[in-house]
Amino acid sequence: MPKVLILAGHPDSTSFSSALASAYARAAADSGAEVQHIELSQLAFDVVLRQGYKQEQPLEPDLVMAREAITRADHVAWFFPMWWGAPPALVKGFVERTFTPQFAFRYRGRNQLPEKLLRGRSARLVTSMDCPAAWYTLVNRRSVHAAFAGATLAFVGFSPVRSTTFHELRFMDERARQRALDKVARAAQSDVRAAPARKSAAALAAEGATNGSSSAVT
């Protein structure tokens, strides 16, 4: 039974982004997955990485729980809106606090390429935005997907990272929103079928020793 973790990153748990996350959760459960659904807005933690990476910042209990959930998961689905070409501060803060060295990645010796410590898991990024698709692609240069799907999730080992994007949200009527809910439900069904079989810690360690640090994310 695949273990699916859903991380909903809109600060307002009554938002359409959270409704998309709930539709995905229901479809994943109906498809036979073991589902854990976390609303980041309900977690108690400091979103600021106070000292950067100079020293360790103790994790609050909710972040310890979230890390354990990520560790258990075969597949992680992220839901949040695009604000100012980027994820909300809540999502950025959550990643900065949880995806720290020795948990999400590490460097060995003088090797400048990262060892991806969260490999063996797939991911889906579901994001919504008001801007048209052409503007997002040509002007914003797919900023969220470049930074979050590529430079964050792929960097720490998630693969494949699939995405579902909803544009011009402010113009979507109820019928269009229902189509969007149906679309993420179908995505959940597909993701559960394709979820990778989790490898043992020993197998992942051996894999990392041979080729885990041989590829870079650009």
Total domain count, the chain: 1
**Residue 15: inside a domain, yes or no?**
yes
pLDDT tens track for 23-77:
999 999 999 999 999 999 999 999 999 999 888 899 999 999 999 999 999 999 9
Residue 77 structural domain: 3-212
Determine, yes or no, domain membership for 218: no
Q: Looking at the predicted structure, is the pLDDT value of residue 81 above 60?
A: yes
pLDDT tens column, 178-196: 999 999 999 999 999 999 8
Amino acid in position 53: Y
- Residue 217 located in a structural domain: no
Residue with tokens 């992220």: 78
113 pLDDT band, cuts 50/70/90, is confident
CATH code where residue 178 lies? 3.40.50.360
Say what the pTM is. 0.88
63/57 Cα distance (integer angstroms): 11
